Amino acid sequence: MKHHLRNSIATLAMFSAMGSTALAEDIKIGMIVTLSGPPAALGQQIVDGFQLALDQKDGKLGGQSIELIVEDDELKPDVALLKATSLVERDGVDIVVGTVFSNMLQAIFKPIVQSETFLISPNAGPSTFAGRNCNPYFFAVSYQNNQNAEISGLVANEEGYENVFMMVPNYQAGRDNIEGFKQTFNGTVTDEVLTPLGHQDFSAELARMSTSGSDAAYIFMPGGMGVRLVKQFDNAGLSESMKFLSVFTTDETTLPGQKDAAVGMLSAGTWAPDMPNDANQAFVSAFEAKYDYVPGSYAMQAFETANLIDSAIAKTGGDMSDKDALRGAIKAAEFTSVRGNFAFNNNHYPIQDFHMTKVVKRDDGKFHTSFVRTIATDYADSFAQDCKM
């Protein structure tokens, strides 16, 4: 009898021990990014950047063990929605990190924030959630989509461009980039060309560009479109007669394809791999050592997202249930940003510096964007004033 009792006590103790480990179980972070099709290169950078930060902290953020669940949205809004719902309802994640593309963010936004789960965007920064529809459960670590275009307008002014030819793909982000550029650019826009998404042959557009009498082109052609355009721009001999200013067109994800054709092209952004601060240099060299490619802004923003979460969890002592405390801890953004200045605005979008960058070829034959000069400091987006937070 006594023996039995002792056994059952032992069993009980074992169960309660298991119970307590279950209570202090890992903090779950869900990640929704695009990992199918050609844009998978962008999603992969985000996964890699986040993983690097996790590995550097032995799989812990803020001292707590992290279980990371990565999901592919396949660049389809319905798939993204399904994955988001299952992350929140089935897996019961504490934080969702996503997405690469703005239209995917719009698809997953509602079910996540309505379940009072924090949604942190490592890249997409649509205007939709920056103004009147800002949300206490949403943070963007990247930028607000219009900002890069606005800064490009300022770059064009500073570089003395007078006649600019604009070309973007025919979808929301393309049109936003045209509007943003026009807001700050003082010169003349010679023409605006909208191409289909995934456009292959830019020869007709390049012919129009070269006869338009423009001294520069402002381009937004992300991914494979950018690779094709830059190669064709160079093959048509336009690099000699025209300046090429772009956003999300000549970055670390497309440069391995564009190679020498892109060298010297300008762009506007929040960061470049050679930004001269210690945190950044440590990040870039650790990233290259681990993954053997030059990180782009996508990887950087994911790395920053992980560090932001790390700082927030450390501040709340691992308590994920007190949402207000956690929100305050995230908003405080007490982490060392590789971008330098970083703070959250009232709408939970960043206030940060923007720079002009230029494509360079490194001695080892790899290509990256290089910091040239700062265009705007502590730059906030123009939607924040409509946000009542």
Integer angstrom CA distances of residue 251 from 1, 95, 358: 73, 28, 10
- Coil, strand or helix at 47: helix
For the chain, give the number of residues. Answer: 389
The amino acid occupying position 384 is: A
**143 DSSP 8-state letter:** -
* Number of amino acids touching other proteins (CB under 8 A): 39
Q: Give least dist CB 202 to other proteins, A.
A: 9
Is position 316 an interface residue for other proteins (rule: CB under 8 A)? no
Is position 188 an interface residue for other proteins (rule: CB under 8 A)? no
Report the residue number, 39 or 131, with the smaller CB distance to other proteins: 39
Q: Give least dist CB 41 to other proteins, A.
A: 4
- Helix ranges restricted to H, 193-344: 203-210, 224-235, 255-258, 278-291, 297-316, 323-332
Report the residue number, 59 or 257, with the smaller CB distance to other proteins: 257
Report the residue number, 42 or 120, with the smaller CB distance to other proteins: 42
Which one of residues 8, 11, 16, 170 is an interface residue with other proteins (CB under 8 A)?
A: 170
Distance CA 113, CA 111 (A): 6
**Window 31-60: contact mask with other proteins (x via CB under 8 A):** ------xxxxx--x----------------
Distance CA 98, CA 215 (A): 38
Short-list 89, 197, 90, 79, CA closest to 98 = 79
Distance CA 28, CA 146 (A): 32
Is position 317 an interface residue for other proteins (rule: CB under 8 A)? no
Backbone phi, psi, residue 150, to 5°: -60, -45
* Both tokens assigned to 259: 């190679």
Report the residue number, 8 or 170, with the smaller CB distance to other proteins: 170
Q: What is the DSSP string of 302-347?
A: HHHHHHHHHHHHHHHTT--S-HHHHHHHHHHT-S--TTS-EEE-TT
**Window 296-315: contact mask with other proteins (x via CB under 8 A):** --------------------
Is position 256 an interface residue for other proteins (rule: CB under 8 A)? yes
Report the residue number, 149 or 225, with the smaller CB distance to other proteins: 225
Q: Give least dist CB 197 to other proteins, A.
A: 10
- 192-251 binders of other proteins (CB under 8 A): 192-196, 198, 200-201, 203-205, 207-208, 210-211, 223-224, 227-228, 231-232, 235-238, 241
* Contact between 32 and 99 (Cβ < 8 Å): yes
Is position 258 an interface residue for other proteins (rule: CB under 8 A)? yes
Q: Which residues bind other proteins (CB under 8 A)?
A: 37-41, 44, 170, 192-196, 198, 200-201, 203-205, 207-208, 210-211, 223-224, 227-228, 231-232, 235-238, 241, 253-254, 256-259
